[in-house]
Chain A
Amino acid sequence: MSAVWRVELISSLSEDVLVGRTLEGDEQAFEEILRRYNKPIYSFIINYVGDYDVAQDAFQEAFVRAYRNLKRYRLGTNFSAWLHKVALNASKDCLKKRYRTQRIEVHESEDFDPVAMLRDNGPSPEEALEKRELQAVVRKALSSLSGPHREVILLYQFQGFSYEEIARSLRCPLGTVKSRIHYAMRRLEELLRPVVREMRLG
């Protein structure tokens, strides 16, 4: 009974309280942070790095860094944005490390055929969607964007941050964030246009 009460209690705490408790040595508080953010942070990382192995390293590195640098988080600001920034930096570093040791396949947009990818993976686009194949197509489209365009579109479209939050987090002018998002959306629209058409026909 007390265990249930404990779970309910900790799940109702704000991120700032959890940060404070973690700093005081409460192991359960950081576990709760990990529970809340493992999925969004992993999704963000895998979509950013576009490589399974690098994503494994980056995910672990992100949470280790977050734990180590928790004192630097300013209470009362946006914890989610702070954690995503930590994850972004960890992803960039892990990508650099991987590039130094082995070359990752770079997906050139000229070779990118999303409809063929869907057809290869399932008999119809609808079925493919159900099998999460759209994820692979989108990830490939994302990998053809430049790093700065990819990071803003992920934070905006997938993680739901506002332009202002992204600008603050990345320390980037608001206008730059807006124009990067716009460009990235246009580019993704071009890349995914055949898929969207197939989806509609399907």
Chain B
Amino acid sequence: MKCKKARRELLGFVDGSLEGEGRRAVAEHLWVCPQCAEEERRLRSVAEALGRVRAVAPSPSLLHSTRSEVAALRRGALARGKGVVRGIWHLSPTALAVVAVLVVGSGLLMAHSATTGLKARELRQLQQRIEGQGLLRQAHLSQREMPQLADQMVLAGVELVLREVVNLSPDSAGQQGLEQLKRRVTMSKLEDSLTSLVGRSEGREKRALTQLLRAIEDIEKL
């Protein structure tokens, strides 16, 4: 190995990241080249000196004020409510479509199940519902940023599907679950939230929200 190449590899040699054949080649070169050996000794000594510098912690008051700043940011985002509209748009098109499909799909299911009573389809819908929740999470649908809407969209979808499951195989636990859900959310609340959002949004967001609102109104008509 020549000095030029050895010098290029010296840092890796000193910090241990150079391994195997490369490391052996540098070590052999250092045996026969006093200049490179001196360079290696210098690099190692400065690395050791730097390694003795301890990490410094911020003062408790700085940590406290940083926490306060972050908390204020969180409260500000909630109070402004901007996160809701941005959040909805952030969902589009994937998660928003999932929500719409689930709500519409559940509604259609409700319309047909009285005559067909397809349990397998019910289960598929439930599965989609769960996957939908996963998608919502991936899309960072924050239940804190969107406290009412997120809850209501998810629960309204679940309610519609659960209602059908209960219709097919009524049992007290399922009925109880449905009653609990009903107490927490109603379709009218969801509509109210959406109507208010449509009023505050504009452009593409407004169109997407309006479509969703119409889909929910259609389900209600069914």
Contacts and interface: CB of A to CB of B under 8 A. Distances in A.
Interface stretch (A8-16, A63-71, A78-86, A99-107): A63-71
B50 A138 contact: yes
Contact of B46 (A20, A38, A135, A189): A189
B56 A39 contact: yes
Contact of B66 (A24, A25, A63): A63
B contacts with A: majority SS: helix
Contacts of B56: 39, 42-43, 46, 135
B200 interface: no
A110 to B, nearest CB: 20
B52 A189 contact: no
Given A24-B144, A25-B144, A188 B50 contact: yes
Contacts of B140: 23-24, 71
A196 B49 contact: yes
Interface in B121-157: 137, 140, 142-145
B70 A64 contact: yes
Contact of A25 (B46, B48, B142): B142
A157 interface: yes
A39 B66 contact: no
A25 B43 contact: no
Interface stretch (A26-34, A143-151, A166-174): A26-34
The 5 A-B pairs of least Cβ separation, nearest first, read A25-B144, A189-B46, A42-B58, A43-B55, A23-B140
Interface of B: 8, 11, 17, 42-43, 45-58, 62-63, 65-67, 69-71, 73-74, 90, 137, 140, 142-145
